[in-house]
């Protein structure tokens, strides 16, 4: 029994003593100054304890047109490292001593420097990344992974600043991902800092939205910031709400089994079980991972030919889905557009009326109109009912809704509109899957110790893409003034169908102008009244304006206290605690450490 007691003591000591790594990183502190051209001037300080290896390295990938320049390294011993034109990762310890350089890789580059001397060391890396800020279709922003090491880090911090102080209330929104910590504004600077140690699965990614075009950057994107936000948040809700690492579930019973096992098993078998447990604990697993939508032929449609007919079976929500997924127009335009398009549809179906609103001093003409819902019953179609309920709630007891009234309502109830936008996408995905226009591909992925998991990837079929091409072609046809002669032969009643899609695609003003030139007497027609249609566009614009103000205010409130993710609605966040997941699809640094 005494022998078993000794063995048990040794084993328990082994369990509860953290493994000591040969190399460890105590801290990484990144200081990033953004100049007026959107170039990042970076100073990065690494504190480490080193006993083996020959070099430190930091990789960068997917930088696009951005370039890394002016790389240099100094250390705690006062050495300024010689910068080599070519860096060999296979060189000896002595050949790398007091030297640094850039190693080109298949997907980017690595910033490398010699360890030079073992022990407790401090290295300071300085370098620039040009065009660090991206111009999206609506605003400027940054979506970047700053730290993603293959080694344990005790603490890490990223500070970003410019000549213009940053403020949540005035010019910036921020989200942090991949670690436990805080994302805040301090003295006009963005500060992202860990509050717990980082292991190899943690990282620091950030999403920054600049409310004004603050930088003269050359880097552009065909996506809107909404699209980038959706990409960054893709993993967050699933992880925060559903992901339960298996080692948390198994931890308690496993430890009990370990206490019993030493009586029946020899120490070697016991040790093997422990190794398996630690491996599972380090990796975690899930039975099934659902993949994102994958686009056949790529997300951007490229050049398209003009298309005259009405696509998508005249289904506005299908058109919305394709316009959104294939970036036919900006996220802002299509979200505004679907609100106006549904209202135009109801006008065409003689369900609602456009009436004179309350006459108020200094009101512009469009704001003197209102939508009267008193004749309309609740729709049976799910998506139309969703926006109908929003309109009715916003209009109050008289069921008459003015544009500014709707804007104020959307400011306070932005999350309801956000859920409706999300519901359209989910509804259309389900519908297309049922019709076979989205196909599923399931792949088996081999796991540790022979286990397998499955990953499901969804593909839009070529038929769906062809419909998106037709929609983009219709936009081109409607915008093209040179085709005015051809448009003379379009019947008047068909123009209302064109106007619905023009509203959806954000080009209603252009189409209305052509419409009124072709049919000068159209203003007297109650169904196709141009002023009424202009008001509908204004109504949708006011709704989106209120929606945007609401989500930005929510971001500011989240910044001033509490967790940066409330769940369920887009744009929650903007400050406070960083997300422990998400944001990992950004460009930037993936990997690194000492080797």
CATH number for the domain spanning 41: value is 2.60.40.1730
Tell me, yes or no, whether 91 and 163 share the same domain. yes
Highest mean pLDDT: which range of 16-25, 314-323, 557-566: 314-323
- pLDDT category at 281 given cuts 50, 70, 90 is very low
Domain with 126, as residue range(s), is 24-242+571-594
116 close to 100: Cβ distance less than 8 angstroms: no
- What pLDDT score was predicted for residue 520? 65
Tell me, yes or no, whether 100 and 221 share the same domain. yes
- pLDDT category at 255 given cuts 50, 70, 90 is low
In a domain, 7, yes or no: no
Tell me, yes or no, whether 269 and 393 share the same domain. no
For residue 328, CA distances in Å to 137, 242, 322 come to 12, 33, 8
- What pLDDT score was predicted for residue 299? 54
- What pLDDT score was predicted for residue 461? 86
- Across residues 44-63, what is the average pLDDT? 94
In a domain, 135, yes or no: yes
In a domain, 100, yes or no: yes
Tell me, yes or no, whether 379 and 259 share the same domain. no
The CA distance from 562 to 118, in Å, is 42
- What pLDDT score was predicted for residue 305? 87
496 close to 325: Cβ distance less than 8 angstroms: no
- Residues 329-383: tens digit of each pLDDT: 888 899 999 999 999 999 989 999 888 765 443 344 444 689 999 999 999 999 9
In a domain, 93, yes or no: yes
- Across residues 543-571, what is the average pLDDT? 52
- What pLDDT score was predicted for residue 271? 64
Q: How many domains does the chain have?
A: 3
Residue that wins the pLDDT comparison between 180 and 124: 124
Region for residue 470 given its phi and psi (left: phi exceeds 0; alpha: psi -120 to 50; beta: otherwise)? alpha
Q: DSSP string of 385-397?
A: HHHHHHHHHHHTT
The CA distance from 493 to 571, in Å, is 40
- What pLDDT score was predicted for residue 363? 42
- What pLDDT score was predicted for residue 576? 41
- What pLDDT score was predicted for residue 571? 34
- Across residues 296-301, what is the average pLDDT? 53
Which residues are bridge partners to 120 per DSSP?
A: 49
In a domain, 442, yes or no: no
Q: In what order do the strands lie in the sheet with 438-446?
A: 288-295, 452-460, 438-446
Tell me, yes or no, whether 267 and 151 share the same domain. no
- pLDDT category at 267 given cuts 50, 70, 90 is low
Check whether 212 has a pLDDT greater than 70: yes
Check whether 222 has a pLDDT greater than 80: yes
Q: Which class for 106: exposed (0-12), middle (13-18), buried (19 or more C-beta within 10 A)?
A: exposed
Check whether 249 has a pLDDT greater than 60: no
Tell me, yes or no, whether 137 and 265 share the same domain. no
Tell me, yes or no, whether 343 and 398 share the same domain. yes
- What pLDDT score was predicted for residue 377? 93
Bridge pairing between strands 40-50 and 189-194:
unpaired
In a domain, 10, yes or no: no
Tell me, yes or no, whether 135 and 276 share the same domain. no
Residue that wins the pLDDT comparison between 557 and 457: 457
> 């990144």: which residue's tokens?
30
- What pLDDT score was predicted for residue 582? 67
Highest mean pLDDT: which range of 216-230, 259-273, 540-554: 216-230
Q: Which class for 357: exposed (0-12), middle (13-18), buried (19 or more C-beta within 10 A)?
A: buried
In a domain, 577, yes or no: yes
- What pLDDT score was predicted for residue 459? 83
- What pLDDT score was predicted for residue 154? 93
Tell me, yes or no, whether 266 and 234 share the same domain. no
The CA distance from 115 to 53, in Å, is 8
Tell me, yes or no, whether 184 and 205 share the same domain. yes
Residue that wins the pLDDT comparison between 253 and 224: 224
- What pLDDT score was predicted for residue 58? 94
Which residues are bridge partners to 288 per DSSP?
A: 454
- What pLDDT score was predicted for residue 527? 55
Q: Report the predicted TM-score, pTM, of the whole model to 2 decimal places.
A: 0.48
Check whether 101 has a pLDDT greater than 60: yes
Tell me, yes or no, whether 269 and 345 share the same domain. no
Question: Two tokens at 281?
Answer: 């604990």
Check whether 477 has a pLDDT greater than 80: yes
Percent of the chain with pLDDT over 70: 70
Q: Which of 584, 595, 579 is nearest to 237 (CA)?
A: 579
Tell me, yes or no, whether 238 and 250 share the same domain. no
In a domain, 226, yes or no: yes
Check whether 491 has a pLDDT greater than 70: no
């Amino acid at each position: 029994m005494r022998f078993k007691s000794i063995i048990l003591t040794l084993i328990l000591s082994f369990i509860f003593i953290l493994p000591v790594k040969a190399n460890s990183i105590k801290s990484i502190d990144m200081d990033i100054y953004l100049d007026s051209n959107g170039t990042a001037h970076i100073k990065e300080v690494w504190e480490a304890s080193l006993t083996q290896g020959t070099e430190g390295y930091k990789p960068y990938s997917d930088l696009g047109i951005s370039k890394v320049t002016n790389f240099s390294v100094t250390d705690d011993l006062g050495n300024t490292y010689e910068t080599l034109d070519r860096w060999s990762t296979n060189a000896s310890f002595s050949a790398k001593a007091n030297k640094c350089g850039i190693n080109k890789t298949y997907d980017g580059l690595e910033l490398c420097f010699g360890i030079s001397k073992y022990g407790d060391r401090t290295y300071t890396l300085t370098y620039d990344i040009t065009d660090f800020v991206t111009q999206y279709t609506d605003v400027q922003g940054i979506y970047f992974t700053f730290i993603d090491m293959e080694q344990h880090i005790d603490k890490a911090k990223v500070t970003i600043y410019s000549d213009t102080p940053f403020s949540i209330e005035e010019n910036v929104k921020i989200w942090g991902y991949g670690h436990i910590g805080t994302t805040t504004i301090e003295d006009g600077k963005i500060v992202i800092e860990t509050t717990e140690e980082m292991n190899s699965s943690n990282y620091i990614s950030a999403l920054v939205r600049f409310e004004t075009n603050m930088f003269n950057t050359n880097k552009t994107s065909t996506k809107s910031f909404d699209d980038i936000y959706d990409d960054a948040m893709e993993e967050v809700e699933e992880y925060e709400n559903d992901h339960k690492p298996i080692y948390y579930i198994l931890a308690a019973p496993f430890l009990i089994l370990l206490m019993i096992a030493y009586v029946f098993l020899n120490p070697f078998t016991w040790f093997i079980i422990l190794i398996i447990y630690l491996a599972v604990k380090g990796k975690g697993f899930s039975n099934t991972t659902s993949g994102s939508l994958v686009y056949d032929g790529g997300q951007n449609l490229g050049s398209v030919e003009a298309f005259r007919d009405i696509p998508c079976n005249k289904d506005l929500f299908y058109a919305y889905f394709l316009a959104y997924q294939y970036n036919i127009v900006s996220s802002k335009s299509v979200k505004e557009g679907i609100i106006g398009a549904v209202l135009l549809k109801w006008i065409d179906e003689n369900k609602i009326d456009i009436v004179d609103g309350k006459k108020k001093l200094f009101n512009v003409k469009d704001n003197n109109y209102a939508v009267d819902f008193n004749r309309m019953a609740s729709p049976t179609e799910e998506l139309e009912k969703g926006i109908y309920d929003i309109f009715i709630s916003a209009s109050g007891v008289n069921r008459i809704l003015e544009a500014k009234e709707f804007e104020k309502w959307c400011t306070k109830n932005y999350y309801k509109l956000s859920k409706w936008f999300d519901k359209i996408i989910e509804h259309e995905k389900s519908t297309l899957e049922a019709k076979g226009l989205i196909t599923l591909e399931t792949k088996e992925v081999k796991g540790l110790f022979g286990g397998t998991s499955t990953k499901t990837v969804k593909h839009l079929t070529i038929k769906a893409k062809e419909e998106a091409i037709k929609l983009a072609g219709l936009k081109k046809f409607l915008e093209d003034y040179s085709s005015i002669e051809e448009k003379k032969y379009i019947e008047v009643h068909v123009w209302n169908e064109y106007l619905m899609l023009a509203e959806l695609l954000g080009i209603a003003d252009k189409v209305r102008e052509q419409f009124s030139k072709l049919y000068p007497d159209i203003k007297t027609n109650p169904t196709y009244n141009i002023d009424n249609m202009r008001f509908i566009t204004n109504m949708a614009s006011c709704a989106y304006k209120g929606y945007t103000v609401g989500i930005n205010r929510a971001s500011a409130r989240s910044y001033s206290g509490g967790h940066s993710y409330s769940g369920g609605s887009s744009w929650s966040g903007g400050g406070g605690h960083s997300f422990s997941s998400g944001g990992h699809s950004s460009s930037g640094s993936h990997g690194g450490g000492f080797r």
